Structure 1
Amino acid sequence: MATRIRSLAPVAMPVIALIAVVATYHRSLPTAVAILVGAVLIGAVLAAVHHAEVVAHRVGEPLGSIVLAVAVTVIEVGLIITLMAAGGHNSETLARDTAFAAVMITCNGIVGLSLLLGSLRHGLPRFNREGTGAALSVVATLAVLTLVLPRFTTSASGGRFTGVQLAFIAVAALALWLVFVSTQTGRHRDFFLPVSVSTDKPGDPDGADDHATPPSNRATVISLVLLVVSLLSVVQLGHAVQPNIESGLEAAGIPSTFVGVVIAFIVLLPEGIAASRAALGNRLQTSLNLGYGSAIASIGLTIPAIAVASIWLEGPLELGLGPVQIVLLGVTLLVSTLTVAPGRSTRLQGMIHLIILAAFVFLAISP
């Protein structure tokens, strides 16, 4: 019975989410109803990434990791633009808070948990330093250009870019993402394949491809349709529960900027689950592809989309991080560099990243 429910849930959740969208459209929600809608929203996110995984399985690795990262980013961008359009206490910093939270969660949460689980299960799992190092360098460049640089420019104050600066950064971010995707799927595709697949000899059990048979074209098309329904539902449901989230944070004495962290945790939860499963299955490279790929997409696609949306969105757009956030980002990039350099994982490395994530969450709640 439980197995049947799990098999039906990915199909049922998009439909339930669509019904919830119709029922909550332009309505103020009581707390109990908002909690229920929030649960449906999380279910829709999980369903969206499940169907993205089906499509990703069809196209194969590493393109599959890109499909998952883009699906998550579409949810993230949709929620940010919807909530910014609705206004609120932190609308001008929402894009910054969400993008920074996504970097911290992916580079420390997803990567750290994957390193820890992989090391606990498989001892000293290995990954490709070339591909992982390249991904990390793109993350570092995007994060500094989009989130650190505006704090030090002088043409505009308060951590903001001028219109021309924002346009340049948006184009640069999108170009970096496109070049990275081209590298990951083109001539250097082998840099992003699991070590066991790309280097082990045929017949090696550790290098065996233990994936299930790819889905049929019909199943892929159905998942693609349900993926679109889920994505649209998530965006609208996020807008519906926004006032309840803000009032709940205010009642708990938590800064309103924590909304960005909540959004990032919701949209990256399925990525974390997928990366953890890959690490437990001795496919640490896939986990790192998911983690760093999501960080790259979160900045490389989100910032250009927000830059375009800012043309018609009211109010300023603040992207520059504060001093504490810059310190946390610097520590993350330094530790990540030391983590990637050896090309193998230990439990210590995983725990260090998770401690940095814990510090980020704690300081976001109590700045």
Structure 2
Amino acid sequence: MKWLRFLLVFVAASFALEFIPGLRNDLLLFASCCLGLVPLAGYLGQATEELSIHTGPRVGGLLNATLGNAAELIISIVALRAGQYELVKASIAGSILGNLLLILGFSLLLGGLRHGIQRFDRQQAGVSASMMTLAVIGLLIPTLFEVMREVQLGQLDIFNTAVEDPALNRLSLGVAGVLMLLYVLSLIFSFRQPERGLGTPVGVDDPGFDEEAHKAKWSVPVAVGVLAISTLAIVFLSEFLVGAVEPTTEALGLNAFFVGIIVIPLVGNVAEHIVGVQMALKNKMDLSMTISLGSSMQVALFVAPLLVFISLLFGRELTLFFSLLEIAALGLAVLIATLISVDGESNWLEGAQLLAVYVIVALGFYYLVAGIPGVAALGQLPA
């Protein structure tokens, strides 16, 4: 994607807005960081793909499985260090919803309008859908556990997910460990399949994903250098972005939760999302489905549990206690994605249905918090 290089100007603009006092503007800084993170995430993904070509399919698949959502992971770690735990949980839910509803929806809609009925491997899609169902169960249990405890104690607060409960902390750690184990097992399963599996690397600039056409464009030193520079730049821009969230939401009349669940998940994966849509337009639906479902699965089974363990380094544990609306939205998103993928066929109307659900969910999150006076983010009620 050659257009990525033009967005690199926003990386320089972000540094200028952050460090030059006369240019400081939180709203512009937030927008610039969002745009600057798009090419950085794209080049990070491309560098990972180039390394995977040099290292072979198995090691390459492992690289993609661990670094596929590296940009989003870095942003979340920076937010954890800044104490923005609810923002991190919102971005986790938003990333899964965005992949299952928004990106898959656009892929089915545009691909269906061009090619009519499209077909894909329903067995592979079914494996991904079942894994996502198990992941949602893993996120649901800690939420139900804490809600039932609060009901028992007569302290139920459905809007507050920022609670201090040692039992919930231990449960979240246990569930996170199980989810990560399940992710490892899914990689082992996919690597042993004769066909392209869940761990297959997906590159940003791969024109057709055919073995013959898929040749390395960069040497190993160049790929490693781009990977290192992109990662470092993402760390800096993530710092700027997280610091500008609160003043930006105040200026726009939004809330940090809405920004976390809608805006931030899109920033770190725009390049990969566009590839998914492009594959659908080329009638390569197996690859398009792998990108959407595989990325969702990676967030739910790897990124979210990993963040739970990483949060221990910052003195406060990130729990898997989500709001009831988040859990309901995740469950319904997995359900409709499963129903659409179960027959191995797709059309443009199914894509429109997914997009409609995403818009409805986004409106629900926006008006839920906007309708509560004094609430800046879900999980932070006024005293």
Q: Structure 1 residue 235: deviation in Å?
A: 2.4
Matches within 5 A, 1:183-262: 183-187=189-193, 189-190=195-196, 209=210, 212-215=213-216, 218-261=218-261, 262=263
Matched, 1:102 2:95: yes
CA distance in 1 between partners of 2:74 and 2:209 (Å): 39
Partner in structure 2 of residue 49 of structure 1: 45
Matches within 5 A, 1:287-326: 287-315=288-316, 317-326=318-327
The structure-2 alpha-carbon separation of the partners of 1:130 and 1:21, relative to structure 1 and needing over 3 Å to count, comes to same
Amino acid in the other structure paired with 1:52: T
Q: Structure 1 residue 52: deviation in Å?
A: 3.2
Q: Structure 1 residue 128: deviation in Å?
A: 0.7
Question: Does the CA-based 8 Å contact 2:112-2:348 persist in structure 1?
Answer: yes
TM-score with structure 1 length normalisation? 0.81
The more displaced of 66-75 and 43-52 is 66-75
The more displaced of 172-181 and 315-324 is 315-324
Matched, 1:85 2:81: yes
Q: Structure 1 residue 164: deviation in Å?
A: 2.4
User: Which of 164, 178, 194 is the aligned partner of 1:172?
Assistant: 178
Question: Does the CA-based 8 Å contact 2:30-2:241 persist in structure 1?
Answer: yes
Unaligned 5+ segments in structure 1 are 195-206
TM-score with structure 2 length normalisation? 0.78
User: Which of 141, 146, 149 is the aligned partner of 1:149?
Assistant: 141
CA distance in 1 between partners of 2:77 and 2:286 (Å): 32
CA distance in 2 between partners of 1:25 and 1:253 (Å): 26
CA distance in 2 between partners of 1:252 and 1:22 (Å): 22
Question: Does the CA-based 8 Å contact 2:104-2:351 persist in structure 1?
Answer: yes
Q: Structure 1 residue 56: deviation in Å?
A: 4.9
SS at structure 1 position matched to 2:360: helix
The structure-2 alpha-carbon separation of the partners of 1:25 and 1:84, relative to structure 1 and needing over 3 Å to count, comes to farther
Question: Does the CA-based 8 Å contact 1:135-1:293 persist in structure 2?
Answer: yes
The structure-2 alpha-carbon separation of the partners of 1:49 and 1:63, relative to structure 1 and needing over 3 Å to count, comes to same
Q: Structure 1 residue 352: deviation in Å?
A: 0.8
Amino acid in the other structure paired with 1:247: P
CA distance in 2 between partners of 1:56 and 1:344 (Å): 30
CA distance in 2 between partners of 1:150 and 1:26 (Å): 45
Amino acid in the other structure paired with 1:332: A
CA distance in 2 between partners of 1:220 and 1:355 (Å): 43
Residues 99-141 of structure 1: CA distance to partner in whole angstroms, max 9, x if unpaired? Answer: 1111100111121111122212222111111111101111121
CA distance in 2 between partners of 1:208 and 1:44 (Å): 22
Residues 194-228 of structure 1: CA distance to partner in whole angstroms, max 9, x if unpaired? Answer: 9xxxxxxxxxxxx9948634115x53441232023
The more displaced of 18-27 and 177-186 is 18-27
Matched, 1:125 2:118: yes
The more displaced of 330-339 and 65-74 is 65-74
CA distance in 2 between partners of 1:143 and 1:63 (Å): 28
How many residues of Structure 1 are paired with residues of Structure 2 in the alignment? 344
CA distance in 2 between partners of 1:330 and 1:336 (Å): 10
CA distance in 2 between partners of 1:73 and 1:111 (Å): 17
Amino acid in the other structure paired with 1:313: F
The structure-2 alpha-carbon separation of the partners of 1:7 and 1:257, relative to structure 1 and needing over 3 Å to count, comes to closer
Matched, 1:134 2:127: yes
Question: Does the CA-based 8 Å contact 1:115-1:347 persist in structure 2?
Answer: yes
CA distance in 1 between partners of 2:180 and 2:320 (Å): 16
Partner in structure 2 of residue 358 of structure 1: 359
Amino acid in the other structure paired with 1:181: L
User: Which of 105, 108, 113 is the aligned partner of 1:112?
Assistant: 105
Amino acid in the other structure paired with 1:177: Y
Partner in structure 2 of residue 333 of structure 1: 334
Amino acid in the other structure paired with 1:212: A
CA distance in 2 between partners of 1:62 and 1:110 (Å): 27
The structure-2 alpha-carbon separation of the partners of 1:339 and 1:220, relative to structure 1 and needing over 3 Å to count, comes to farther
Matched, 1:271 2:263: no
Q: Structure 1 residue 37: deviation in Å?
A: 4.2
The structure-2 alpha-carbon separation of the partners of 1:233 and 1:255, relative to structure 1 and needing over 3 Å to count, comes to same
Identity %: 21
Q: Structure 1 residue 330: deviation in Å?
A: 2.7
SS at structure 2 position matched to 1:149: helix
Partner in structure 2 of residue 284 of structure 1: 285
Question: Does the CA-based 8 Å contact 1:26-1:240 persist in structure 2?
Answer: no
RMSD of the alignment, in Å? 3.5
Amino acid in the other structure paired with 1:322: S
Residues 50-85 of structure 1: CA distance to partner in whole angstroms, max 9, x if unpaired? Answer: 333434556687986775564342221211121121
The more displaced of 94-103 and 254-263 is 254-263
Question: Does the CA-based 8 Å contact 1:183-1:189 persist in structure 2?
Answer: no
SS at structure 2 position matched to 1:153: helix
Amino acid in the other structure paired with 2:181: A
CA distance in 2 between partners of 1:65 and 1:117 (Å): 28
Residues 145-168 of structure 1: CA distance to partner in whole angstroms, max 9, x if unpaired? Answer: 12x222211596565663321221
Question: Does the CA-based 8 Å contact 2:10-2:33 persist in structure 1?
Answer: no
Amino acid in the other structure paired with 1:249: T
Question: Does the CA-based 8 Å contact 2:246-2:256 persist in structure 1?
Answer: yes
Q: Structure 1 residue 339: deviation in Å?
A: 0.6
Q: Structure 1 residue 274: deviation in Å?
A: 0.9
Partner in structure 2 of residue 182 of structure 1: 188
The more displaced of 31-40 and 56-65 is 56-65
